[in-house]
Structure formats: C-alpha cells, structure tokens
Amino acid sequence: MNILIIDPLSENTICRLKKIKSVKIDYFPNINETDILEKIGQASMLIMRTSHIFTEQWLEKAVQLQAVIIAGSGIENVPIDLLEANNIIFKNVKEASVTSVAEYAICLILMGLRNVYQGIKSIGEGNWEKNQLIGNEIRRKTIGLIGFGNIGKAIASLLCNFDVEIIYTNESGRVVGYDYECVELKELAKRSDIICIQVPLTNRTYQFINNDVFSNVKRDCVLINVSRYDVIAMDALIEKLKQGIFKHVYIDPIEKRHLKTISEFKNLPISFLPHLGANTYEAQERVGEELIKIMIDLETKFNFLCSLP
C-alpha cells in the first residue's frame, strides 16, 4: 500500500515509517495542489498537516484512500464528515505541540511589548532609534487568554512568576482546578493589556474575533493569534489597526495560501509569521511518536507489519 505524506515530518519519523513492511512511503513535503491531485489516486493513506485544505476534488480522485491522518491537533482543513461518509478513517495527533505553542506565545507577547523586531530592523538599516522604541513591561499587566484548553493552561503556567493577572474565556465555561477568572469575551477585551488567542477553528470560532470584540479593546493592546488565520475577522482588524488602537498584532498561522491577502496590511503595526507555533524539532519528534502509535493501532486493519522499535 502507498502512504502519501504532503507535509514535513521529522527525518527520524520518515525513517521509522519506511521500515514498515509492505508499504511504500511517498514523501513530498513541498508538494503543490496539482501534484497532490495527481498522486492522491494511488494513496491508501494520506498524512498531512495544515498547509493544504482537503477538498471534494481530492476525495473524487482518492479512489483508494482508506485513512487520513493529521500530524497535528488542528483539524479544520479536513472535511471529517465527508471522510466518514466514505468510510475513510480519520485520526489526528493531539497534545504533541502544546509546549512549543505556549513558549512561542510568551515570545510573541514579549516582542509585542518591547519593539524587538523594529529594533533589529532599524539597526540593520544603520539607524539607532532607541528613543522611538520605548516598550512596556509585562509585569502587573492583564493577560486575556481566549481559549483555555491545553495551550491556554500552559501559557498561564509559564507566566506564573511574571506577576501578571490572567483572565480567560472558555467555550464550556470555567475550568475546575484553576484560580484564574473566567469572563465573557467582551469583558476580556475591555480588561486585557495583552490578548492571546488559542482556540481550534470551528464553525463557532470562524471570525469570532470581530468588531464586537475590537470595539471593546483597550488602546495600545497587544494582540497575539497562535490559533488559526480565520478566527479573526481581518477586515475589522485592518480598520482598527488604521485607527491606531493596537500597539502591535502578531498573527502566526500564515499558510502559503494567505500570502496574497496580507499584503494590504503593509505599514500597519502588525507582523505575520509562517505558522511557527508548533514548528520545533521537539514537537516534530513527539508528533512522530504519536503517528507511529496510530500506525500500530491501524496495523491489523491495513494488514501491514509495523515491526517498529
């Protein structure tokens, strides 16, 4: 059987997958849409992350496909119902990226407060702009966490000695065992000096950070999105950026397909990143471990021999 892999996995993981008896690994970490459509017809299993969206056209071509595995936690780019209706198994890797994303969120929060990017850039251009780059401490500020699942909890935990106030919103209400204050989204917007978004993308979170939220944020708020591009109504955000409401905004989850749309944000206090939140060697290794476990679970179903260490 053929396993088609269309996003990067760690070298070690690829090496282990190749050891599985009676499978052929087609590893194309930089594949484009046209080539996916050409190759998906031969695949019995597809392993992917977030770079591509699994479309109905893929499904039409995928005549041999029996399983789709997402090597990550976000699953919004795959039509799970449609897969299940076609008897295609769907699995994903949870948890593996939590630490990487949480540490990264702390990095972006501090960068937003301290003008670090602007400082490096200006020095690189031969200018010394210290006096225009006065920042803020995080100490004694209010951090509003939108989403209080594993990543939200991990961010709060990392901040434990930073002397900050943490408040959060959570779809299913207050989380037992945590002393932080659970509030409504509107109140979070009103009170937070820093807002950090870490929710899965679903029908309910699609563009749910919109004008209703932005019209309540404090002036000079720092906004961080380590979730998915589409949780923010970007049309509403650009207006607020033009009004000078935000000190700085960091949007991490930029995929190739977003590059065109973000050009209109030039010269505004916003920075985009190529979805680096979970992009660490450590997270990739853990993803690999989980992936191998999923393969072992699927062993009898697919009639291959994992024989993995």
Question: Binding residues for a second copy, per CB under 8 A?
Answer: 8, 29-30, 99-100, 103-104, 106-108, 110-111, 113-117, 119-124, 126, 128-131, 133-139, 157-162, 254-256, 259, 262-263, 271-276, 279-284
Exposure of 200 in the CB half-sphere (CA atoms within 13 A): 14
Closest distance to a second copy from the beta carbon of 121 (Å): 8
Closest distance to a second copy from the beta carbon of 4 (Å): 17
Closest distance to a second copy from the beta carbon of 181 (Å): 20
For a second copy, give the closer residue by CB, 240 or 275. 275
Closest distance to a second copy from the beta carbon of 206 (Å): 23
Which of these, 230, 234, 264, lies nearest to 249 by C-alpha position?
Answer: 234
Closest distance to a second copy from the beta carbon of 49 (Å): 10
Give the CA distances from residue 157 to residues 107, 179, 194, 234, in Å, rounded to whole numbers and listed in that order.
Answer: 14, 12, 16, 30
Which of these, 94, 74, 153, 82, lies nearest to 291 by C-alpha position?
Answer: 94
Which of these, 297, 303, 294, lies nearest to 9 by C-alpha position?
Answer: 294
Q: Is 50 helix (H, G, I), strand (E, B) or coil?
A: coil
Query: Rounded distance, CA 72 to CA 51, Å?
Result: 11
For a second copy, give the closer residue by CB, 130 or 186. 130
For a second copy, give the closer residue by CB, 262 or 294. 262
Bridge partners for 24 per DSSP: 2
